[in-house]
């Protein structure tokens, strides 16, 4: 829920700031700014909640903490890449793939009722997926429209 709130508030703020600066609404740029801020916000979570997020990764995958740090770096690089025109399309496609690849970790956390922030098993469970799966779809559509369809 927090990433969605960050995304929507930042989008609204960027929309009005760009209107003041450019004299017109720039929806695609505002959407990219909002996605970048949201990615930086979630990357921060990877550093703050490393142990709990490592618990989300399936057991057969080694180097869980390192993978959490790596995905944080990926999110930071994606946040930057969305604003560099020659890297924007490849960044967008890779980011959409990244969102798809994160889904199994979210499913595992949901099934196990994992609370990644505390590293305990008192999370929201399967009801979390009713929010998380549409949220992942929203992120994918958001990136596609703002970074590929409207360059």
The predicted-structure confidence for 15-53, as pLDDT tens digits, reads as follows 999 999 999 999 999 999 999 999 999 999 999 999 999
The predicted-structure confidence for 48-78, as pLDDT tens digits, reads as follows 999 999 999 988 999 999 999 999 999 999 9
In a domain, 37, yes or no: no
The predicted-structure confidence for 67-108, as pLDDT tens digits, reads as follows 999 999 999 999 999 999 999 999 999 999 999 999 988 888
CA distance 29 to 118: 35
Backbone angles phi, psi at 120, to 5 degrees: -120, 170
Number of domains in the chain: 1
Half-sphere exposure of 71 (CA within 13 A, CB side): 22
Where residue 151 falls among pLDDT bands split at 50, 70, 90?
Answer: low
pTM of the predicted structure, to 2 decimals = 0.92
Which structural domain, as residue segments, surrounds residue 137?
46-149
In a domain, 97, yes or no: yes
Where residue 130 falls among pLDDT bands split at 50, 70, 90?
Answer: confident
Task: Looking at the chain, list the stretches that DSSP marks H as alpha helix, in order from N- to C-terminal side.
Answer: 2-22, 27-48, 50-54, 64-81, 88-111, 127-143
Residue 116 has a pLDDT of 85
| Count of C-beta atoms within a 10 Å radius of residue 106 | 18
8 A C-beta contact, residue 52 and residue 117? yes
């Amino acid at each position: 829920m927090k990433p969605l709130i960050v995304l929507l508030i930042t989008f609204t703020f960027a929309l009005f700031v760009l209107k003041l600066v450019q004299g017109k609404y720039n929806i695609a740029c505002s959407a990219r700014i909002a996605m970048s801020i949201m990615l930086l916000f979630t990357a921060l979570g990877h550093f703050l909640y490393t142990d709990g997020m490592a618990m989300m990764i399936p057991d057969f995958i080694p180097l869980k903490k390192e993978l959490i740090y790596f995905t944080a770096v990926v999110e930071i690089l994606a946040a930057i890449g969305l604003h560099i025109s020659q890297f924007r399309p490849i960044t967008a496609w890779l980011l959409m793939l990244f969102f798809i690849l994160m889904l199994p970790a979210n499913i595992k956390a949901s099934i196990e009722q994992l609370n990644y922030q505390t590293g305990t098993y008192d999370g929201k469970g399967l009801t979390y997926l009713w929010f998380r799966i549409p949220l992942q779809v929203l992120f994918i559509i958001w990136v596609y429209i703002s970074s590929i369809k409207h360059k």
